[in-house]
Chains A and B, each alone.
Chain A
Amino acid sequence: MLLRMAWRNLWRNPRRTIVVLSAISIGIAGCIVAMAINLGMVAGMVDTAIRGGLAHLQIHSAGWDENPELEVRLMDGGAEIAKALDATPEIQYWAPRLRAEGLAASPRASVGVSITGVDPIREAGVSIAADSISEGQWLGERGRVVLGHKLARRLNAEVGSKIVLSVQDLAGELTGQAFRVSGLIRSGSRELDDGVVFMRLPEAQALVRMGESITEIAIVTSDRTLVNQIQARLRAALGSGPEIRTWEQLEPLLVYMIASMDSMAWVLYAAVFIAMAFGIANVLLMAVFERTREIGMMRAVGMSRARVVSLVVIESTFVTMLGLLLGVGLALAAIWLIGDGIDISSFAGSIDEYGIETVLRPSMRSRDLATPIVIGAITAVISSLWPALRAGRAKPADALRHV
């Protein structure tokens, strides 16, 4: 009967209940949608970084983290490591790389770049570089390089232009070679578009006189959530020799941003739920005040304090849960409506620095729905305690006299 009474009590003053429901549902929907957009933005940044060359895991020779120089290299093209990688089914793609900091020069300008020697076919699996060719073509012929469209603009180069790459070789001697631009990358990744010059791995090895050595292996797994597991297995297989690091270890800033999003979510939830708690408490106090005589009667005929308190708490829980359901429904509808993404390309200039994609696609984890529901239920109980205890404390004789 308590449940039935609580439910019907909600609709004694439908307008008031609808106002509370609207406040709760709009607040919750706002929270969920804002979080989904933020999460989508961060997920986009992570994706851009991973697809832009970071990959899920990278393997370097021991000491690379402290001293990323050519002498810290993987001998024999990482042949031993390759065997372990091929034996790990969750690894979808891997690609050897040789990275060296150098200078790209055209007749008009000189720009510091990351010269990256890659296996053109394998690299196409681990990064979007090959798929992001906007002009010309991906690496194929000898003596060709691919660079980002922004870098090309700074060098005043285009497909077919000749540029000279200068770099210190393994022995520390300055060396250089002219290459022709075979393609331009337009990926949305700042690093790919403005910082890297790709060339075929054997040519890079020849340029820096490193024989068959490479500096890193980039790995993409079938499931990003498995990276720690795969890292542990590779460590077990390869021993303490090479450094195997996940994208989170390679780019702690991204991890910090994800964590910041979670912190921001809690701040957002706290603001919405504190406001909600006061709203519910206020409405319930009013409802309890209006029903003082009725509560007095219920206490007079023998209803226990606990049951009176429960009745008010159940009413609060009903209105909150209903508000939460409506809010979640609203949020899902809104997320569905903007599922194709929000085009923020008009801000492209200012957000490009941060690796944010120009189309924000909302993203949601199950806990982003579960968290507000759980906190909402707790808020309902807490916010109803004051009016509920007040109702429970009513002395029957006094309450019955209430006008």
Chain B
Amino acid sequence: MIIEAIDITKVYDTRGVKTQALDGVSLGLEEGEFTALAGPSGSGKTTLLNLLGALDTPTSGKIQLEGVELSGLSAAALSALRLRKLGFVFQAYNLIPVLSARENVEFVMELQGVSLADRRKRASEVLERVELDGLGDKRPLEMSGGQQQRVAVARAIASRPSIVLADEPTANLDSGTAERLLELMAQLNREDGVTFLFSTHDPLVMGAARRLVRLRDGRIIQDETTTTSQASA
């Protein structure tokens, strides 16, 4: 199992007001999965994704990434773990505006200490893989939303993480662009074996996922696996 959450709860305390975002959630993901966390706003999708992505810590319960228990790790160790094991795609693309598409893709690899030559080679490969070859020198603001999100996907997969966590990746895209992005991610999953976990309320993503986990009020209410998905069909 790549990542596993065991009976986790998360309570936010905002100036004494406690809000339970997750309540006894257990979830495990195997290598190669293409899974969507679905649910309405406030159901706990992003909270669960943040906890699985070592961006936040649960109030109780355990999270293991490739067998490593996260709760005992320092902030620096968690940061190093995210750098080596996890890829992230965010709803608002979150590219670094002062870097070109290629530099954004190289960013994580540079943090990992990959040599310049290897970074360049890998960045070219993944930019080609997300069909952005030729746009490497463009800055994010010179690109469309769909292109920016492709760069974000390229950045996430460039360092060959164990799993890519994508928080509402299609939320800011029109349906056609969203469909093409989803197709690309399904292809990366199928052909390159990249494991994806999405949080979404987009029916398109839900339809494309091979496993759909539904959350409501901080609890898993449905966890079903389909043999074929729209995107992989």
Q: Would B82 and A300 count as touching, CB distance under 8 A?
A: yes
Encoded as 1 (CB less than 8 Å from any B CB) or 0, chain A from 1 to 36 comes to 100110011001000000000000000000000000
Q: How far is the CA of A310 from the CA of B80 in the complex (A)?
A: 17
Given A8-B98, A396-B55, 10 more pairs with CB closer than 8 A: A297-B94, A297-B96, A300-B55, A300-B82, A302-B80, A303-B111, A395-B55, A397-B56, A400-B55, A400-B94
- Which residues does chain A contribute within 8 Å of B94, judged by CB atoms? 293-294, 297, 400
Partner-B contacts on A (CB < 8 A):
1, 4-5, 8-9, 12, 293-294, 297-305, 307, 395-397, 400
Residue in A294, A299, A307, A400 whose beta carbon sits within 8 Å of that of B96 in the complex: A294
Q: Would A300 and B108 count as touching, CB distance under 8 A?
A: no
Chief secondary structure at chain A's binding surface: helix
Q: Would B90 and A1 count as touching, CB distance under 8 A?
A: no
Q: How far is the CA of A4 from the CA of B56 in the complex (A)?
A: 30
Q: How far is the CA of A293 from the CA of B92 in the complex (A)?
A: 10
Encoded as 1 (CB less than 8 Å from any A CB) or 0, chain B from 83 to 111 comes to 11011101010101111000100111011
Chief secondary structure at chain B's binding surface: helix
- Chain A, residue nearest B119 (CB): A1
Q: Would A304 and B96 count as touching, CB distance under 8 A?
A: no
Partner-A contacts on B (CB < 8 A):
50, 53, 55-56, 75-76, 79-84, 86-88, 90, 92, 94, 96-99, 103, 106-108, 110-112, 155
Residue in A4, A297, A303, A395 whose beta carbon sits within 8 Å of that of B90 in the complex: A297
- Which residues does chain B contribute within 8 Å of A400, judged by CB atoms? 55, 90, 94
User: Could you list 23 A-B pairs, sorted by A, with CB under 8 Å?
Assistant: A1-B110, A5-B96, A8-B99, A12-B98, A293-B94, A294-B96, A297-B94, A301-B82, A301-B108, A301-B111, A302-B81, A302-B83, A302-B86, A302-B108, A302-B111, A304-B79, A304-B80, A305-B76, A395-B55, A395-B56, A396-B55, A396-B56, A397-B55
The residue among B55, B90, B97, B112 with the most chain A CB atoms within 10 A of its own CB is B55
Q: Would A302 and B55 count as touching, CB distance under 8 A?
A: no
Taking the closest CB of chain A, its distance from the CB of B146, in whole angstroms, is 19
Q: How far is the CA of A272 from the CA of B92 in the complex (A)?
A: 42
- Chain B, residue nearest A399 (CB): B55
Q: Would B108 and A304 count as touching, CB distance under 8 A?
A: no
- Chain B, residue nearest A294 (CB): B96
Q: Would B98 and A301 count as touching, CB distance under 8 A?
A: no
The residue among B79, B86, B112 with the most chain A CB atoms within 10 A of its own CB is B79
- Which residues does chain B contribute within 8 Å of A9, judged by CB atoms? 98
Contacts A302-B83, A304-B79 given; does A1 touch B56 at CB 8 Å: no
Q: Would A299 and B79 count as touching, CB distance under 8 A?
A: yes
Q: How far is the CA of A307 from the CA of B87 in the complex (A)?
A: 19
- Which residues does chain A contribute within 8 Å of B110, judged by CB atoms? 1
- Which residues does chain A contribute within 8 Å of B83, judged by CB atoms? 301-303
Q: Would A5 and B88 count as touching, CB distance under 8 A?
A: no
Taking the closest CB of chain B, its distance from the CB of A198, in whole angstroms, is 74
